[in-house]
Amino acid sequence: MEKEAGRLNRLLFVISLGLALSLCARAQTSAPTAPRPLVAATTPTADQILDRYIQATGGRAAWQKVLSRVSKGTIEVPSMNLSGTIEIYEKAPDRFLSIIRVAGASFRHGFDGTTGWTDDPQNGAREQTGVELDEMRREADFYYPLELKKLYTKLTVAGTEKIGDRTAYVLEAEVPEGDPDKLYFDAMTGLPLRTVSHRHSPDGVTDLREDFEDFRDVDGIKMAFVIHEVAGESVITVKLDEMHHNVSLDDEQFAKPAAQ
């Protein structure tokens, strides 16, 4: 039982950290005309892919009108026969909080602009340091789509890959702390289809893959309401039921909980 609890702690930690990135990576603001497909005889440059990504999300002005986001839904881990609820709170420029409730326990993970932290039944409240904190700081950026060139040390086009029936351009996004992340953009729409990254924790490094689907319009912004995550041998599905923008959020709710 203790081993299973530890596995659950690590898994939910990876999920919540990954959502910090995926929630901001998968937005698309509706535009009067759809962006032109980038599929061509020659592969576009990284700048062209990123510029089109920003265009597909509605442009900088549209993003800057959104100052906060609250999302709620469910989480399923079939391999462990578990299901629960998830709440995600985000506030510009870099506040993030996820609350996952599974099997009667609460798992929280947050960033208050300076301090990254986790809080779970097994380990209590714990501050993040080193590479783990660097990942959280990067991924809590509310305006991630606009900040990619600042958040990564280098972005390189690594060709194309098929994801289902879609062709995706693959960007390798280099980070100071290890292997690069991989960002997959639909060649036809410019939307993110997948991210592949690495998550550091006191227990080691976990590879994380996230796929996005079921895009819906929320206040003129299209967001994916279903996220499939593969962490190690576990498959997790997050299904969001509701999402609201520009909700009043107090900075204090993102702070690390006081020691019990």
Residue with tokens 């969001």: 240
Q: What is the pLDDT of residue 28?
A: 42
For 10-21, how does the pLDDT look when each residue is reduced to its tens digit (9 = 90+)?
A: 555 555 545 554
Query: What pTM value is reported for the model?
Result: 0.85
- Percent of the chain residues past pLDDT 90, beyond the cut: 52
Q: What is the pLDDT of residue 221?
A: 75
What is the maximal distance between C-alpha atoms in the chain?
A: 61
Rounded distance between C-alpha atoms, residue 234 and residue 77, angstroms: 7
Nearest-CA neighbor of 197 among 210, 216, 185, 186?
210
Q: Which of 11-25, 122-136, 148-162 has the lowest average pLDDT?
A: 11-25
Rounded distance between C-alpha atoms, residue 203 and residue 123, angstroms: 12
- How many residues make up the chain in this entry? 260
User: Is the model's pLDDT at 243 over the cut of 90?
Assistant: yes
At residue 219 the predicted structure's pLDDT band, cuts being 50, 70 and 90, is confident
Q: What is the pLDDT of residue 31?
A: 39
Q: Which of 156-160, 180-184, 221-225 has the lowest average pLDDT?
A: 221-225
For 182-205, how does the pLDDT look when each residue is reduced to its tens digit (9 = 90+)?
A: 999 999 988 889 999 988 888 888
At residue 24 the predicted structure's pLDDT band, cuts being 50, 70 and 90, is very low
- Percent of the chain residues past pLDDT 70, beyond the cut: 83
Range 201-229 average pLDDT: 85
At residue 3 the predicted structure's pLDDT band, cuts being 50, 70 and 90, is very low
Q: How far, CA to CA in Å, does 180 sit from each of 32, 133, 156, 174? A: 35, 17, 10, 4
All structural domains of the chain, each given as residue ranges with its CATH number in brackets, are 2-251 (2.50.20.10)
Q: What is the pLDDT of residue 252?
A: 96
Q: What is the pLDDT of residue 13?
A: 54
For 50-104, how does the pLDDT look when each residue is reduced to its tens digit (9 = 90+)?
A: 998 888 777 788 888 899 999 999 999 888 888 999 999 999 999 999 999 998 8
* Encoded amino acid at 123, one letter: N
Range 102-112 average pLDDT: 92
